[in-house]
Amino acid sequence: MPMVFTGEEPGHPVIFANDAFLALTGYARDEVLAKSFQSLLAVGVDAETMPIVEAAFRGECETDPEIHYKRNDGSEFWASMFVSPVCDDTGAIVQQFVSLVDLTDHRRENARCKMLIDELNHRVKNTLSTVQSIVTQALRRPAEPAAVREAIESRILALSRSHDLLTIGNWDGSGLHDLVDTALHPFEVIAGRPERFTVVGENVRLSPKTTLSLAIAIHELATNAVKYGAFSNDAGTIAIDWTVVPDTAGDRLVLRWQERDGPAVTPPSRKGFGSWVIERGLAHELGGKVTLDYHSHGVACTIDIPTSNPVKQ
């Protein structure tokens, strides 16, 4: 344990310092002996801490002070300081015993735990916001209770899969290729027929929030394709491509979904819940723009969303 003994003269000159104290503070022994303990601390301790140290030497601290010390080489440590008087046979104080407990690792761990808790809170808020959006959008559209239930459950399952994807990357984001694969995997419509589905684009890395919102949108497009579009027969194909477009307000991701050779397409008399989720959801969550075109040969969807500093892998 780092420890020193000091005299009772003004400034409390150091009369003994063990090797552990020298190792912790970075001093050589000849830099410490006979030097004022307070002046040694004052070199590396914040000015507002010194009155607390002085009070500890006077026996006026109810708790052991914690000091944040910056060494000459720029490194630093946290320590708890215990001060106890040493008395002679008459009871007079003749020396002070000072010991330090290194709290650096403890402080670092506390900071890491706080960071993890803050990050968890942020993730939970993002998730709850997305779930709230899913439920709100489902309830705003007139539909049978069973249809509303199915709509909410399927979208929450899609959200769960995107969570699994983000967890693999420690919630640092996801690659767009990985997101597309994860979103389409449950539909199992291209097993053995890879020519039915093509993906072109760099594996742009997306933020967690963009991952969650885009996963829901791709889920909606795939659901529609399986029920009514290119994946509802044995001949239809889907092509996805994307590019990152520089913009003065920040880069934008432009993703295109194109279906072909499915059943003939006619524009709907009114937009369904899925279309509403794609258009309103991305606009609300990400400030994006969505264009849905109902060409006779297949549905086309263009998604234009902001993305913060995408990283190509």
**Cα gap 4→21, rounded to integer Å:** 7
Residue 141: pLDDT band (50, 70, 90) is low
**pLDDT for residue 302 is more than 90:** yes
pLDDT tens per residue across span 159-199? 888 888 888 877 778 899 999 988 888 876 656 667 788 99
Q: Whose CA is closest to 10, among 28, 47, 30, 35?
A: 35
Q: Indicate the average pLDDT of the chain.
A: 85
Residue 272: pLDDT band (50, 70, 90) is low
Poorest-pLDDT segment among 35-39, 73-77, 146-150, 182-186: 146-150
**Cα gap 208→130, rounded to integer Å:** 11
Q: What is the pLDDT of residue 149?
A: 81
**Cα gap 176→183, rounded to integer Å:** 10
**Cα gap 49→39, rounded to integer Å:** 13
Q: What is the pLDDT of residue 91?
A: 87
**Cα gap 273→261, rounded to integer Å:** 24
What separation in angstroms does the CA of 30 have from each of 13, 38, 63, 280? 13, 16, 31, 72
Q: What is the pLDDT of residue 311?
A: 43
Structural domains of the chain, ranges and CATH numbers in brackets: 3-102 (3.30.450.20), 107-306 (3.30.565.10)
**pLDDT for residue 313 is more than 50:** no
pLDDT tens per residue across span 227-271? 899 999 988 999 999 999 988 888 899 999 999 999 999 888 776
Handedness of CA 275, 277, 278, 282 (dihedral sign): positive
pLDDT tens per residue across span 106-132? 988 988 888 878 877 877 777 777 777
Q: What is the pLDDT of residue 189?
A: 63
Average pLDDT over residues 81-99: 90
H helix or E strand, kind and range, residue 202: none
Beta bridge partners of residue 238, listed in sequence order: 197, 259
124 or 88, greater pLDDT: 88
Average pLDDT over residues 127-150: 74
